[in-house]
């Protein structure tokens, strides 16, 4: 089921006398979620992710704008008539019911032609339990399950009504690191097997990047960028997006454009034919540094961290935000630095320029120094 948001806006009235004006939790969202895809809504806490999800499922009604499922306008439809399955962070299972009864629960209130017999309900429950791999646990109570198993029950319960759309709000936040990884792979598998259009909300960029077909990056109720995870990583629209995606994070420098060169401190690092002179913010991905080539950016070596095939070269540079930069170097065949000063050349496709005032990306053509001489 394709989902379309048109000028979707949600404003909350101000709370108390001290706060000024309203909060615009969701501001003029316009996008389309293609049928059968998994979309990650990504942004820091308070950026409007849950509000967006609650608008789509109907728990909140928008201040402005419309929501379509396929060609149906569902904006005014009650939540129970939208055909959505919901999964929250805190599972919200009934503690006194068995797993089986928890999963069956949403089927018990079906009316009219949708009404199912006891046998049919059981059969459906076992089908989804099999899908999320908890058939062995059907007679247990929630407290006899691990967090990961409880979340699987919650997913089974959301799927049992065969929803048109599956909405997951930070479903992995209560799980420990290992289970989080495992369960996110599971969610991806289940989504691919069922082909249900799914929206997955998270503040964790790693999580969103690893399982989404598309990510929507949000900040303060405003969409910053929409695209395939790799596309957004390779081509961030602004400084916020560049900083939000990537582990280890992008390195940020204050740079200067002079004589068609990009300078970091006193070092000319790249040729920039088409950007006006002045100060810019420079983002360099950790994998954008090379120890070979026409090395131009000089830094003071602080330490090397060996991680299997890759080595993190941690350096000090006065122009770098926080004073320290981290370069990831493929150590095979590259002699590692053993002097106090390290010199890097840069991969132009891993370097982004942003306007100092607004953080907006400066579209430009960056060229290695060697290719110009």
45 binds ligand ADP (CB under 6 A): yes
List the beta bridge partners of residue 219.
222
Q: CB-wise, 51 or 345, nearer to ligand ADP?
A: 51
CB of 148 within 8 A of CB of 179?
yes
- What number of other Cβ atoms are within 10 A of residue 77's Cβ? 14
Name the minimum Å distance from CB 355 to ligand ADP: 26
Name the minimum Å distance from CB 333 to ligand ADP: 44
Could you say which residues in the range 32-51 bind Mg ion, by CB under 5 A? 50
Tell me the chain's radius of gyration from C-alpha atoms: 25
The count of residues interacting with ligand ADP (CB under 6 A) is: 12
- Dihedral of CA atoms 312, 318, 320, 326 in degrees, nearest 10, equals 0
Q: Which two tokens stand for residue 137?
A: 């646990």
Q: CB-wise, 47 or 242, nearer to ligand ADP?
A: 47
165-169 and 84-87 beta bridge pairing: parallel
Identified binder of ligand ADP from the candidate list 3, 8, 25, 190, rule CB under 6 A: 25
Q: In angstroms, rounded to a whole number, what is the distance separating the alpha carbons of residues 7 and 23? A: 17
Q: CB-wise, 5 or 282, nearer to Mg ion?
A: 5
Name the minimum Å distance from CB 317 to ligand ADP: 34
Distance linking the first and last C-alpha atoms of the chain: 55
Identified binder of ligand ADP from the candidate list 4, 23, 97, 222, rule CB under 6 A: 23
CB of 244 within 8 A of CB of 205?
yes
Identified binder of ligand ADP from the candidate list 5, 8, 39, 49, rule CB under 6 A: 49
Alpha helices (H) in the chain, listed in sequence order = 49-57, 99-104, 118-131, 147-159, 177-194, 205-211, 229-234, 239-244
User: 3-state class of 241 per DSSP?
Assistant: helix
Name the minimum Å distance from CB 33 to ligand ADP: 18
Identified binder of ligand ADP from the candidate list 5, 37, 42, 51, rule CB under 6 A: 51
Q: CB-wise, 39 or 257, nearer to ligand ADP?
A: 39
Q: In angstroms, rounded to a whole number, what is the distance separating the alpha carbons of residues 101 and 91? A: 15
User: Which residues are CB-neighbours of 248 under 8 A, at least 6 positions away?
Assistant: 286, 312, 326, 328
- What number of other Cβ atoms are within 10 A of residue 357's Cβ? 8
Backbone angles phi, psi at 216, to 5 degrees: -115, 110
Q: Which does 58 bind (CB under 5 to 8 A by kind): Mg ion, ligand ADP, none?
A: none
Could you say which residues in the range 112-141 bind Mg ion, by CB under 5 A? none
Name the minimum Å distance from CB 50 to Mg ion: 3
Q: 129's torsion region: left (phi>0), alpha (psi -120 to 50) or beta? A: alpha
Identified binder of ligand ADP from the candidate list 46, 79, 227, 359, rule CB under 6 A: 46
Name the minimum Å distance from CB 14 to ligand ADP: 8
Closest by CA to 233, choosing from 224, 245, 244, is: 245
Burial pattern 140-160, b for ≥16 Cβ within 10 A else e, equals ebbeebeebbbbbbbbbbbbb
224 binds ligand ADP (CB under 6 A): no
Name the minimum Å distance from CB 199 to ligand ADP: 12
By CB under 6 A, which span of 44-52, 112-120, 171-179, 304-312 interacts with ligand ADP? Answer: 44-52
Q: Which two tokens stand for residue 54?
A: 């609650």
Name the minimum Å distance from CB 52 to ligand ADP: 7
Q: Which two tokens stand for residue 13?
A: 């009235």
Identified binder of ligand ADP from the candidate list 38, 40, 48, 148, rule CB under 6 A: 48
User: 3-state class of 77 per DSSP?
Assistant: coil
Name the minimum Å distance from CB 62 to ligand ADP: 13
Q: CB-wise, 24 or 312, nearer to ligand ADP?
A: 24
Q: CB-wise, 50 or 225, nearer to Mg ion?
A: 50
54 binds Mg ion (CB under 5 A): no
Q: CB-wise, 60 or 107, nearer to ligand ADP?
A: 60
Contacts to Mg ion by CB under 5 A: 50
Contacts to ligand ADP by CB under 6 A: 12, 15, 23, 25, 43, 45-51
């Amino acid at each position: 089921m394709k989902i379309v948001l048109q000028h979707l806006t949600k404003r909350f009235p101000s709370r108390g006398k001290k706060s000024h004006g309203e909060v615009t939790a969701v501001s003029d969202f316009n996008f389309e979620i293609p049928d059968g895809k998994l979309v990650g809504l990504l942004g820091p806490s308070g950026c409007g992710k849950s509000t967006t999800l609650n608008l789509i499922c109907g728990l909140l009604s928008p201040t402005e704008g419309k929501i379509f499922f396929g060609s149906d306008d569902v904006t005014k439809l009650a939540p129970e008539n939208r055909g959505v399955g919901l999964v929250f962070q805190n599972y919200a299972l009934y503690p006194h019911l068995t797993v089986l009864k928890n999963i069956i629960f949403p089927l018990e209130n079906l009316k009219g032609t949708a009404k199912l017999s006891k046998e049919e309900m059981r059969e459906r429950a076992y089908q989804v339990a099999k899908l999320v791999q908890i058939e062995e646990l059907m007679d247990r109570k929630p407290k006899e399950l691990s967090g990961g198993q409880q979340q699987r029950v919650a997913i089974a319960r959301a799927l049992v009504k065969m929803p048109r759309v599956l909405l997951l709000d930070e479903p992995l936040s209560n799980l420990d690191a290992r289970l989080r990884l495992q369960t996110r792979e599971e969610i991806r598998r289940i989504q691919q097997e069922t082909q249900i259009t799914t929206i997955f909300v998270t503040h964790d960029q790693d999580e969103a990047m690893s399982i989404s077909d598309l990510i929507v990056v949000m900040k303060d109720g405003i969409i910053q960028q929409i695209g395939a995870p790799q596309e957004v990583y390779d081509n961030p629209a602004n400084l916020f997006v560049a900083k939000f995606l990537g582990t280890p994070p992008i390195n940020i420098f204050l740079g200067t454009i002079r004589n068609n060169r990009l300078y970091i401190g006193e070092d000319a690092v790249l040729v920039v034919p088409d950007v006006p002179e002045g100060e810019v913010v420079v983002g360099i991905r950790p994998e954008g540094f090379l120890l070979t080539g026409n090395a131009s950016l000089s830094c003071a070596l602080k330490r090397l961290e060996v991680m299997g095939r890759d080595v993190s070269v941690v350096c000090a540079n006065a122009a770098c935000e926080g004073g320290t930069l981290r370069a990831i170097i493929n150590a095979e065949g590259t002699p590692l630095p053993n002097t106090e000063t390290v010199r890097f050349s840069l991969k132009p496709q891993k370097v982004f320029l942003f306007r100092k005032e607004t953080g907006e990306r400066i579209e430009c053509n960056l060229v290695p120094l060697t290719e110009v001489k």
